[in-house]
Amino acid sequence: MDAFDRHGETNENTEIFDQFGDPRDYWVRSSRVRKNRVYPTKPLVGFILKKTELNGGWGQKADAAARLHNSGFIIVDQDDRPVPPPERYDHLIRDADRIRLCALNYFIEPARERGASEVAIRASQVAEAMDLRDAFPNICSALGGQKLQQLAQVPPPMHTEPNPSSSTIFTYKLASHSEAPTVTEETTTRSATNLILYGPPGTGKTYRTAWEAVRLCLGEQFVAALQGEEKRDALMAEYRRLVSEGRIEFVTFHQSMSYEEFVEGLRPSTGDDNGEGPEDVEVSTGFRLKPYDGVFKRISERARLDQITEGSPRRLDRSARVFKVALGNRQIEQERQRIRFGLDNSLIHVGWGGDIDWSDERFDDFNEIFSEWRAKKDTEATGHDGNIVITYSFRADMQVGDYVVVSDGRDRIQAFGRVTGEYFYDSEATFHPHRRHVAWLWRNDAGTERSRFYANAFRRHSVYKLNQSLVDWDALEAIVFGDETPRASQSARDHVLIIDEINRANISKVFGELITLLEPDKRLGMKNEIRLVLPYSKKPFGVPGNLHIIGTMNTADRSIALLDTALRRRFTFRELMPNPLVLTTNAGGIDLRKLLSTINDRIEYLFDREHQIGHAYFTGCATRGAVEEVMRHKVIPLLAEYFYEDWSKVAAVLGETGQGKARFLEARRLAAPSGIAEDDFSGEKLRWRVKDHFDFSEFEV
């Protein structure tokens, strides 16, 4: 294709290209950005083979279109519409093989040539490029499979959910061909972005944060296709999708914003969500204070724990509950055998609950268990009877998907697993007929210390729910996975926290000691990694490298000079100023570019550059009436606020010279009230009024 372009400019290689004449049937789409999007197939293949005669279609494997098709190029018509290959030819590659080659040629290799560190491919992009309809399962399978990884020399990609879907995005980490085909944490580092966008109101800061957030999450190539006002809806759709996935969080700072809201604090909580043990079945009328995660801690942990690469160690589900279960007493031989039975047969079992089969659906309710036990076993039983409370915990409260730890006394554990089956009653069991199936994730006859992951000593009750806020999940994963403990890695997807109006809050108060952790080299996994123990949860905390922070500042509200010095050092500042060039020169006969430039020149002269009017105020104006509405209800009130109701300066910005006909504002001289001499007051007293109809003659086309 390069040679064909040079031929058009310099007549180079005329002896080959001129032999084929004008193209007629088959073209091929370029995989690079060029002046020409499509090229005739026969001259290209003829140049490669140094031939001046060959067929241009599909019929034979050696024909021009067939060769290019089988090499992973897309055959199109002259208008760049994909041409489907004939079904009757067996020598043409199809399905997943073709998808892989096209993904390599049109997405991965161009990104690698540009020096990009990663490339994101959406399933719908491939479908559109290749004109594949209803083929998303096949496309996603090809994009996520090992064959493409081997072909493109890339590690397993990250992918979004749902998968497969038209919206599924596969993100590949790229390396040059000379580098190893895998990317490891030791050879790759991730640089976090700390960015603040600042400028006057209406300069597009909010829209730019959305664009930056999508870029950081999905990559340069993906977002490049979403530039321009005409792609705004598509960009915001991607933004909303990432928000729904939890990869983007948005928070607005205000004067009363606190560390407790942003990082973590204590909140009163009632009910059984805090406590542990059988007494939690009955709701207390009191309350207790519980550590509560703020937005910054939540998204930091979400980013740190993100692990979607195929083949990577699975993490524990931190939203699942953990139950302590005692299968027996190890000090007694018979009890040891019962413990071994449960561990060997993937079972948990209890003897509480007598010989009653609690399988009936009505026993999902605590009161039904209570009534049944009193009716059949003990008419004097209370709600604290172990046969009732433990049966409820084991039979009804515990759910499939919850975790269980098998205790070894009050201070050790010997197994950890996940509940895989509902309660069942084994009538033939010689002991403990109440049972559930469990998949053991870890077991060790020697056991390990309970204190490694849980602060409180275990209670003596056979089954009860642990206090979720006391579970140290990182330590629990270290126990369960050992040397394969999952860590925050380079395969984790990028997350973004957007802080709007970041200069409105007391930064030192909101970030507290965590301001140090924002620095890229202090992030988790970096050479100067720092973790701090948080004051309320008493757990270590660090900021992951895949969390980016974008802030916005309205310089008209508060000077950037007043911003906390610690924040200034840790963030990159990017100014967004009014851009008249994005406006039309004819909105109902008004030159909006001239209007905005003139107003801002006058504001800068009379006040300062930080209080200019942003172009966003006028971007939606297409008629004279729309411009007048913006001036009347937005611009003039904003100017009045800027100049503290000094209407003479507002008039000066609007070009009211006092000579000739008023254009935007009318001024009427006020007469001195009776009994007051005009000489008692300096200066002329005027009453200003916004006109009913504006005169835009100064700015007309």
280 assigned to some structural domain: no
Q: Is the peptide bond before 162 cis (omega within 30 degrees of 0)?
A: yes
Query: Bigger pLDDT: 511 or 659?
Result: 511
300 assigned to some structural domain: no
The pLDDT, as a whole number, for residue 150 is 82
The pLDDT, as a whole number, for residue 685 is 73
pLDDT in tens, 269-290: 655 554 554 434 343 455 677 7
Within this chain, do residues 460 and 326 fall inside the same structural domain, yes or no?
yes
Q: Domains in the chain: how many in total?
A: 5
pLDDT in tens, 625-648: 999 999 999 999 999 998 888 888
Domain extent for 27? 16-93
8 A C-beta contact, residue 325 and residue 347: no
The pLDDT, as a whole number, for residue 192 is 86
Q: Which helix (H) or strand (E) holds 118?
A: strand 118-122
Within this chain, do residues 100 and 89 fall inside the same structural domain, yes or no?
no
The pLDDT, as a whole number, for residue 187 is 35
SS3 annotation, 91-107: CCCCHHHHHHHHHHHHH
Q: Greatest CA separation found in the chain?
A: 111
Mean pLDDT for 464-485 is 82
Which strands sit side by side in the sheet containing 75-76, from one edge to the other?
38-40, 27-29, 75-76
The pLDDT, as a whole number, for residue 243 is 92
Within this chain, do residues 339 and 395 fall inside the same structural domain, yes or no?
yes
The pLDDT, as a whole number, for residue 488 is 52
The pLDDT, as a whole number, for residue 438 is 94
What are the structure tokens assigned to 77, written together? 């018509």
Picking from 67, 93, 119, the residue at the C-terminal end of a domain is 93
Within this chain, do residues 208 and 336 fall inside the same structural domain, yes or no?
no
CA distance 395 to 372: 14
The CATH code of the domain that includes 157 is: 3.30.1370
Within this chain, do residues 40 and 165 fall inside the same structural domain, yes or no?
no
In this prediction the pTM is 0.61
Within this chain, do residues 464 and 499 fall inside the same structural domain, yes or no?
no
Within this chain, do residues 353 and 440 fall inside the same structural domain, yes or no?
yes
Within this chain, do residues 146 and 242 fall inside the same structural domain, yes or no?
no
Mean pLDDT of the chain, nearest integer: 84
CA distance 324 to 405: 5
Using left for φ > 0, alpha for ψ between -120 and 50, and beta otherwise, residue 525 falls in: left
pLDDT in tens, 517-532: 888 888 888 888 898 9
Nearest of 465, 475, 479 to residue 324 by alpha carbon: 465
pLDDT in tens, 540-596: 889 998 999 999 988 876 655 556 666 777 888 888 899 998 899 999 999 999 999
298 assigned to some structural domain: no
Q: Hey, what amino acid is at 655? A: G
**Which of the residue ranges 157-161, 229-233, 239-243 has the most confident prediction, judged by mean pLDDT?**
239-243
Within this chain, do residues 344 and 446 fall inside the same structural domain, yes or no?
yes
pLDDT in tens, 387-430: 999 999 999 999 999 999 999 888 999 999 999 999 999 999 99
20 assigned to some structural domain: yes
Within this chain, do residues 134 and 236 fall inside the same structural domain, yes or no?
no
